[in-house]
Amino acid sequence: MSRYIKNVARVASSLGPSEERGYAMWVGYDIVGIDADLSPLGLLKADDAGDRGVTHFTVVEPDDIAMYEKLGLNEWISKQSQKR
């Protein structure tokens, strides 16, 4: 299992009519059975990139089809299989 983080949004907050600030929103995933470079999917290894303030990591099991689809893992796995 490896820990990954993903930037899912850039949130803006307005402090007044002339001042707006934005900050990144990061989410964390513990992906069971995968330990690879998933940066093409926007998933960065937390060990390499730092946790960016993420305090909770959602466990993603291999049979979680909906989460695999959401993260693009099914397509990635399919491409990896074709390379072999």
The one-letter code for the residue type at 51 is D
Looking only at Cα atoms, what is the longest distance across the chain? 56
Considering its fold, how many domains does the chain have in total? 1
The one-letter code for the residue type at 59 is V
Neighbours of 70 (CB within 10 A): 11
**How does pLDDT run across 12-46, given as a tens digit for each residue?**
666 666 665 667 788 999 999 999 999 999 999 99
Q: What pTM, to 2 d.p., does this model score?
A: 0.76
Q: Which residue has the higher pLDDT, 13 or 4?
A: 4
Domain that holds residue 57: 2-83
The one-letter code for the residue type at 68 is Y
